[in-house]
Amino acid sequence: MSPPPRAGRLTRRARILVFGAVLSAVGAAVAIIFFFQSWRSCEGEDTSAGCPMLAGDAAVLQISVIVLLVGIVVLAAGVLTPRSGLPRRRRA
């Protein structure tokens, strides 16, 4: 059995959860920003939604969606990781 964590330090499980949450949040934020492209303007369109996406913007959007998915997987792994310092249950 591992010793309990010291005060002020995150456990391995907590670090995994925080890392997954940060990855998910950053990936989602960048994906939403690049999906709506509020800075884009083009002739003949009143809104930015009608403008075509550039190749570089599409690449950033794809990478941000991948980061979002990786963050979700890491977050799920953190949730499924057993808590340290608690006794394990024995099956009857």
Which pTM value belongs to this model? 0.74
Residues 6+ apart with CB under 8 A from 13: 78, 81, 82, 83, 84
- For 33-61, the pLDDT digits (tens) are 988 887 888 887 777 777 888 899 999 99
Residues 6+ apart with CB under 8 A from 61: 30, 31, 34, 35, 53
Buried-exposed string 61-76: b where 16+ CB fall within 10 A, e elsewhere = beebbebbeebbebbe
Average pLDDT over the chain reads 84
Residue with tokens 């059995």: 1
* 51 vs 20: which has the higher pLDDT: 20
- Give the C-alpha separation, 20 to 88, whole Å: 25
